[in-house]
Amino acid sequence: MKRIGILTSGGDCQGLNAAIRGVAKSLYEYYGEKNLNIYGIRDGYRGLIYGDYHLMKRDNFSGILTVGGTILGTSRQPFKLIKNNDIGNIDRIECMINNYKKMKLDCLVIMGGNGTHKTANLLSQEGLNIVTLPKTIDNDLWGTDITFGFQSAVNVATNVLDCIHTTASSHSRVFIIELMGHKAGWLTLHAGLAGGADIILIPEIPYDVKSIIDTMNERSLKYKKFSIIVIAEGAMSKEYFKLSKKEQKEKRKQSHFPSVSYELANEISNLSKQEIKVTVPGHVQRGGSPCPFDRVLSTRFGAAAADLIINEKYGYMVAWVNNSIKSVLLNEVAGKLKLVPKDSIDVKTARNVGVSFGD
């Protein structure tokens, strides 16, 4: 009897259920229903810590390909808290290992982003058989060209830009659209390119407000009566970028603005005469059904994870590299961010068509 556990950790996104389905259906095809037990672990690592899991049936994996979110539930369990035994007086790592053994698992399949993979690597180093799948709308996970959930979020964000374009042009306004992405600008960059943004502001390229206003003024001279600025939530000005992390944290505490887009709107309005409007789609970007691309990618990842299990190849993350499925060692992935290179083809393309990065 093969015994497999599955959990989804961190922020939810489109494609999680498709990936769960891909793993389960592939394993059932190989082992058969009588020779396979799949345990669903509820709410990510929290469920593994507190022993909240259930034996799933084959029917549980039907009809979920197009469903957003995750049927297993998820939670955020920061890596530093996983290793901290002072909170709740429990050894979280020991609890996870004990519950893994209690389920008598042959392998634990974990789906998540950067923080999730740090904990997954820790469990692998503790001797558990781990296989992971790369999930995040930020597309910032090291070792894979793309993560599932990213393209669906790009589609949602691009639709926001498309809708804003019509009202911006009608009223001759400047719109600032704030998208998700604390440290990496992949989502903002791709949605900005796809949605025809005039100015794209990402964490990797600090901006200068005067440069942004110069771009807006240049557009006005060309009889362009509106501008679309798309900004990642983690974007920062050149002045802010020069501060130490401690100084940045203190400045955030003192800020009266709910987010970077509102602060930027205030700065622009103080230096120009144009009307500024802010749109923050927020968690809409992570919701809804996965797009066809993510349904296929998630299914590929799920099937590839099943292959690793069948071949008893543990301690790996399934990845998409150079248009094919690869497996990457967990210890090469954990703790590393994939940021947008300033000389990437997407940045060059944007600059070539006249997009400003505010620098």
Query: Of 138, 140, 198, 294, which residue is the catalytic one?
Result: 138
Helices (H), 33-132: 45-50, 79-82, 92-102, 114-125
What is d(CA 168, CA 163) in angstroms, rounded to the nearest whole number? Answer: 9
Sheet holding 53-56, edge to edge: 53-56, 36-41, 2-8, 107-112, 130-134, 316-321, 324-329
Reduce the DSSP state of residue 251 to 3 states and report it: helix
Residue with token string 């025809």? 196
Supply 200's token pair: 């794209």
Helix (H, G, I), strand (E, B) or coil at 27: helix
Cα–Cα distance measured from residue 70 to residue 139, given in angstroms and rounded to the nearest whole number:
18
Say how far apart CA 107 and CA 267 lie, in whole Å: 53
> Which amino acid is located at 125 in the chain?
Q
Q: How many residues does the chain have?
A: 359
d(CA 276, CA 172): 10
Check if 138 is active-site: yes
257 is written with which tokens? Answer: 């603005």
Q: Give the angle subtended at the CA of 152 by the CAs of 145 and 228, to the nearest 5°.
A: 95
Report, as residue numbers or ranges, the catalytic residues.
138
